[in-house]
């Protein structure tokens, strides 16, 4: 196996798959519409001697870069222990507009606090939970101001009622999805935002959502500070994996991509990704952990596949999560996901497996998770491949029987 074969494989994978391509084309269409509206407003204002400026605001993360804790606050939240710093060069200094507002270009925002953030995710979470603030939303108006006088060719059908504007923008559908995710009611009977009405476990749902947004922030800020680690085999800290990567295997990569590993929970996740451009978070962790720690393949290969296929791909988040699950990222404990145990815990009725792995649809849940337990002739009749690794390595033992240890 010649040197650099892994990088050669990565270079041949498409950087943009069909699902994300369609998503980006739709987003580009909306962006161009926004730019056209901004240009029309500025032109109309200029025609009547008025000043008009359309500002862009940082919206990439839960916390704005300038709202992150200071180095001292991060240390205090971590219990005054020395923080493990991330590798890489220093971040850019603060650059803001004349009015103090920051733009969306990473080179035009205050990254001075990003430079002092810890390189370990748990320390980052403790710091932002204790000391960072989320920029509050602007209060919703009861009624929109009437549009200014504009030349007829710029006149649009602008709703005057705020609720009609929110409805046209799909805001209520988005709130309904958020309510379902967090179990918190955000709207009253009149459609206006109301105080949250907690349902059972509502706080847990909201906390879980916030925690995952904090994870996402950590990866994005880490990439802004020292993005060169995204392409290194040693990941964020230049670490060596606990076990060296095996030589790149086209066969292993092909079976993993096709959802033919013989591990049903992993295969269901990979088939969902190939068919839809989406994979649930639990599936992503298990698929990545199995590829890097079960097959011992270079994590960058798996990350490149996700980049090509995921509709919601983000370079920093994807690479950060892959390095994390491969044991070369911001995870000092180096978790390994035991995919069979993960499946039985989070898909106990095997509904997810049977939906995406039709070869196993007729089996009882326990056998759908472990089809190799069937007699040999029945296994052969399924047309489902044998496991690529010993199934026992994918079953948790000891106190952490949930599947990760």
Whether residues 341 and 203 share a domain: the answer is no
Does residue 164 share a domain with residue 76? yes
Q: Last residue of a domain, which of 204, 231, 258?
A: 231
151 and 214 together in one domain? yes
CB of 116 within 8 A of CB of 71? yes
Q: Residue 176's pLDDT is what?
A: 75
- 405 burial (CB, 10 Å; 0-12 / 13-18 / 19+) is middle
State the Cα–Cα distance between residues 247 and 258, nearest whole angstrom: 20
Q: Is residue 192 part of a domain?
A: yes
Q: At 269, list the tokens.
A: 């996740």
DSSP letter for 199, please: P
Q: Do 63 and 212 have their domain in common?
A: yes
Domain assignment present for residue 378? The answer is: yes
Asked whether residue 110 is domain-assigned, the answer is: yes
- What value does the mean pLDDT take over residues 107-119? 81
Q: What is the pLDDT of residues 79-97, one digit of tens each?
A: 755 444 443 333 333 333 3
Report the chain's C-alpha Rg in angstroms: 25
Does 219 lie in the same domain as 260? Answer: no
Domain with 389 in it:
236-394
Say whether both 242 and 222 belong to one domain: no
Whether 338 and 267 map to the same domain: the answer is yes
| Domain count for the chain | 2
Q: For residues 70 and 115, what is the distance between their CA atoms, to the nearest angstrom?
A: 10
The CA distances from residue 387 to 167, 244, 267, in Å, are 50, 22, 11
Q: At which of 179, 202, 231 does a domain end?
A: 231
User: How do residues 291-314 score in pLDDT, each as one tens digit?
Assistant: 999 999 999 999 999 998 998 888
Average pLDDT over residues 264-273: 96
Binding residues: 312-314
Q: Do 222 and 258 lie in a common domain?
A: no
Asked if residue 240 has pLDDT above 50, the reply is yes
Same domain (yes/no): 261, 348: yes
Tell me: the pLDDT tens digits for 195-217?
A: 333 344 545 567 788 888 999 99
**Residues annotated within a binding site for FAD:** 312-314
- Percent helix, strand, coil in the chain, to 5, is 55, 5, 45
Is 68 a domain residue?
yes
Are 198 and 250 found together in one domain? Answer: no
Q: Cα–chain-centroid distance for residue 347?
A: 21
Angle at 216 between CA 211 and CA 218, to 5 degrees: 95
Sign of CA dihedral 171, 177, 180, 183: negative
């Amino acid at each position: 196996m010649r040197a650099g074969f892994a990088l050669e494989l990565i270079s041949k994978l498409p950087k943009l798959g069909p699902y994300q391509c369609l998503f980006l084309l739709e987003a580009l269409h909306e962006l161009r519409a926004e730019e056209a509206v901004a240009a029309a407003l500025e032109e109309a204002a200029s025609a009547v001697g008025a000043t008009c400026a359309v500002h862009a605001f940082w919206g990439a993360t839960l916390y704005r870069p300038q709202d992150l804790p200071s180095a001292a606050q991060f240390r205090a939240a971590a219990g005054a222990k020395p923080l493990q710093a991330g590798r890489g060069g220093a971040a850019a200094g603060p650059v803001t507009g004349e009015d103090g507002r920051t733009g969306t270009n990473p080179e035009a925002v205050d990254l001075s606090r990003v430079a002092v953030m810890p390189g370990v995710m748990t320390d980052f979470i403790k710091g932002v939970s204790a000391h960072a603030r989320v920029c509050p939303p602007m209060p919703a108006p009861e009624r929109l101001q009437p549009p200014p006088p504009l030349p007829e060719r710029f006149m649009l059908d602008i709703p005057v009622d705020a609720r009609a504007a929110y409805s046209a923008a799909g805001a209520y559908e988005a709130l309904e999805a958020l309510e379902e995710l967090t179990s918190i009611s955000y709207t009253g009977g009149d459609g206006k935002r109301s105080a949250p009405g907690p349902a059972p476990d509502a706080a847990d749902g909201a906390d879980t959502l916030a925690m995952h947004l904090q994870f996402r922030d950590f990866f994005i800020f880490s990439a802004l500070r020292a993005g060169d680690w995204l392409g290194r085999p040693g990941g964020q800290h230049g670490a060596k994996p606990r076990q060296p990567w095996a030589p790149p295997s086209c066969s292993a990569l092909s079976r993993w991509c096709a959802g033919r590993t013989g591990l049903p929970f992993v295969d269901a996740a990979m088939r969902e990704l190939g068919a839809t451009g989406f994979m649930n978070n639990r599936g992503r962790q298990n698929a990545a952990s199995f590829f890097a720690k079960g097959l011992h393949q270079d994590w960058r290969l798996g990350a490149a596949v996700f980049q090509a296929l995921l509709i919601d791909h983000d370079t920093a988040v994807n690479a950060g999560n892959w390095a994390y699950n491969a044991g070369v990222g911001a995870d000092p404990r180096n978790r390994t996901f035991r995919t069979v145990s993960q499946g039985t815990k989070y898909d106990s009725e095997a509904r997810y497996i049977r939906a995406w792995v039709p070869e196993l649809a007729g089996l009882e849940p326990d056998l759908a998770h472990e089809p190799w337990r069937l007699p040999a002739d029945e296994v052969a009749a399924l047309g489902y491949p044998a496991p690529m690794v010993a199934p026992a390595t994918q079953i948790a033992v000891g106190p952490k029987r949930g599947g990760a240890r």
